[in-house]
Amino acid sequence: MALAFPLAPQISATAPPPRLARWVWVAVTSLSAACFVALVAQPAQAQDRDAPRLKTESPYFFVQNGDPALDPLPLKSTQVDVRISGVIADVTVTQRYKNEGQRAIEAKYVFPGSTRAAVHGMNVRLADRLITANIREKNQARLEYDNAKKEGKTAALLEQHLPNVFQMNVANILPGDDVKVELHYTELLVPTSGNYQFVFPTVVGPRYNSAQSAQAQAPWVSQPTLRAGVASPAAFDIRVALNTPIGIKEVRSSSHDISTSRQDGDTAVVSLKNTATPANNRDFILDYRLAGDRIESGVMLYKGGDENFFLAMIEPPKALPASAISPRDYIFVVDISGSMHGFPLDTAKTVLRELIGNLRSSDTFNVLLFSGSNRFLSPHSVPATGANIEQAIRTIDEMGGGGGTELIPALKRVYAEPKAADVSRTVVVVTDGFVTVEREAFDLVRKNLSQANLFSFGIGASVNRHLMEGLARAGMGEPFIITQPSEAAAQAARFRKMIESPVLTNVKARFDELDVYDVEPQHLPDVLGERPVIVFGKWRGEARGNLVVEGQTANGPFRQILPLNQTTGSASSTAALRHLWARHRIASLSDQESLDGGDALRQRITELGLQYTLLTQYTSFVAVDQVVRNPAPQDSTSVNQPSPLPQGVGNLAVGAEVPSTPEPATWGAVLVLLSVLALLARRARRHNPHRFTA
């Protein structure tokens, strides 16, 4: 296309013969029209509405199988039982599969999990039999499962594709079988400004499958998806029991209608209300505060057979306004792809109005819009004046969602943008995170920490929290999750509070008298937004002495001492420290592996998964019934359980043939074609003014 304009002056000044001119005109007009249609249709990835996308793509719409003997929806329900004791949640997830068809099937189901979950157990209940799963190296688990499937045995395989994306396979479910698979995990709940939050994700959003992703050929990405407005037939229910020695002040949910019953001052039971609205198309979010807005600070100790574990949670000082704040440069990286169409993009615009509209006049900013392509609103950052802010907000308001989600090229362009050496830059990424390039993105952000820190805003009812939390962790920032427009102002205010003055910097923790080792994290980050300091580790000998935490606040040095005899947590909750420590160590190694590239730390992660019975990217759970139940396993068929679209996400996220806004590159190509067409018409009129008339 770059050659179109240079070629134009080479058109002969001599008028072509009338018949030839007419044919040239018709040919160019036809070509332009064809290119216009093809280019405009491209971002929408149009398809036949009555057929699924190719299963090598991601994702595709679920189409009901015409075979009446096949049950295409074997997952009948998901029941979640949560018990929160202090700052530790113990969770049991029961998935019920039933084959209501007349053929034996293998059920496959891709589902989400918490990014902080330490999945440490799985059981399968088949009729009156209980089958306990074993942890295996991933390839070994797959081999055992495949062999059991071929032999006609009922078996279940749980694999981790990403820290927040799991897959369950259940083989040889016979007609009439009712199979229950139980997953067990623990999770640490870290409060922010005195607010505790438990999140249970219910659906994996459709992922844009970039060719740059290490997950580009992963089969799980090509999951079937129900169309917008079609509810999942699988039932969903969750029950949460809160137990804290301090007393519960407030319990609420921003995502679901809940009922709360108080058994006494320290215990509350939360359940879902019966409503007509589907409950499994968005994250379940439960917020609660303790009496007096206290953070349950202290040291939890667990004495095991071979190893002893501790967890320290130290409440930081209150944030103080900084007396002098240095000017900063902000680059807002905004996703306007197809999956952001509608509610997510509308909410993103609200967030940006809050963020950009409250910058100080001494700050500078720019906005990069990205989908399949990307562009800056301004060639360079501009001062945060009223006129510049208003112009940016007007432009953002006009944006519509369409096209792919090429996050990596967008981030590369941001980091390539020059800045003065004495200017601090903050990158703010706003997206739903429906991509498969998590590892590549984390690597890119870490390698450019000297250029900028990074904060992430996840928008939507079922955000890819693995991406949002990982980006912020790699960029030494903080993730923000916004599930509805009403939360935008509060989250933007929290962001401003964080960036203006970190609460605690140069944080160090040491133990007097207690012999500790394998401490996580090895280097404590700055404390932002009144989040407590968290330290994991192991200890030997007698439990005595003090934990001393030191750091720097805006008002000067900070020092806090916690005697080890002032421990918190019950015996049942402290037993979870074993799994939580190992989960944290595995996450640290995975981050390092992503930074280094390759799988050099595979062996260490695998050993930790096997030793502490944890699901990881290199270990899986497999359960096999030793009874041969299916005499003809070769006649079984695999069924991929479809997922609903997350609340607020439209068909455009899956590539449906719906209206969309062509990307800037598309409009550029169309304009070039129309320019050539106009040039030919003008030349023809010059040589024969009577040929083209009204």
Nearest CA-CA partner of 527 in 546, 554, 547: 554
Q: pLDDT tens digits for 351-382? A: 888 888 888 888 899 999 988 888 898 899 99
Q: What is the pLDDT of residue 649?
A: 86
Per-residue pLDDT tens digits for 494-552: 888 777 666 777 788 889 888 999 998 877 777 776 778 888 899 998 888 888 988 88
Residue ending a domain, choose from 477, 500, 523: 500
Select from 454, 478, 500 the last residue of a domain: 500
Q: How many CA atoms lie within 13 A of 547 on its CB side?
A: 28
Query: Quick one: pLDDT band at residue 571, thresholds 50, 70, 90?
Result: low
Mean per-residue pLDDT, 315-336: 74
Task: Examine the pLDDT at 312 and tell me if it is beyond 60.
Answer: yes
Q: How far apart are CA 31 and CA 491, in angstroms?
A: 50
Question: How many structural domains are present in the chain?
Answer: 2
Round to whole Å and give the CA distance between 656 and 51. 11
The answer to whether position 467 is within a domain reads yes
Residue 559 lies in a domain: no
With respect to residue 311, please indicate whether it lies within any of the assigned structural domains: no
On whether residue 26 sits in a domain, the answer given is yes
Residue 651 within any structural domain of the chain: no
**Model confidence at 41, in pLDDT bands (50, 70, 90)?**
very low
pLDDT value of position 667: 43
Among all chains, which residue has been given the structure tokens 């001119």?
21
CATH number, domain with residue 491: 3.40.50.410
Distances (CA, A) of 107 to 103, 163, 181, 576, 619: 12, 22, 12, 31, 21
Lowest mean pLDDT among 5-9, 82-86, 295-299, 469-473: 5-9
Q: Is pLDDT above 50 for 49?
A: no
Q: Do the domain assignments include residue 552?
A: no
User: Residue 326: what pLDDT?
Assistant: 66
Crossing angle for the helix pair 343-357 and 386-397, to the nearest 10 degrees = 180
Q: How far apart, in Å, are the Cα atoms of 297 and each of 251, 349, 568, 650?
A: 20, 38, 8, 43
Of 470, 500, 530, which residue is a domain's last?
Answer: 500
Written as one letter, the residue type at 378 is S
Alpha helices (H) along 448-522: 465-474, 488-500
User: What does the DSSP assignment read for 328-394?
Assistant: EEEEEEEE-SGGGTTHHHHHHHHHHHHHHHT--TT-EEEEEEESSSEEESSSS-EE--HHHHHHHHH
Residue among 237, 132, 107, 142 at smallest CA distance from 182:
132
Beta bridge partners, 335, equal 370
Asked if 76 contacts 96 with a C-beta cutoff of 8 angstroms, the reply is yes
List, in order, residues 6 or more apart from 57 with CB less than 8 Å away.
209, 222, 655
Q: Which of 149-158, 266-275, 586-595 has the highest mean pLDDT?
A: 149-158
Tokens standing for residue 503: 């609460």
Predicted structure pTM score: 0.77
Range of the domain at 24: 4-42+672-687
Return the pLDDT at 11. 34
Q: What is the DSSP string of 597-640?
A: -TTTTHHHHHHHHHHTT---SSEEEEEEEEEE--S-GGG-EEEE
What is the residue-averaged pLDDT of the chain?
81
Contact 244, 266 (CB under 8 A): yes
- With contact defined as beta carbons under 8 Å apart, do 77 and 96 qualify? yes
206 found inside a domain: no
Q: How confident is the model at residue 176 (pLDDT cuts 50, 70, 90)?
A: very high
Q: Are 243 and 94 in contact (CB under 8 A)?
A: no
463 in any annotated domain: yes
Enter the tokens of residue 322.
Answer: 């900084």
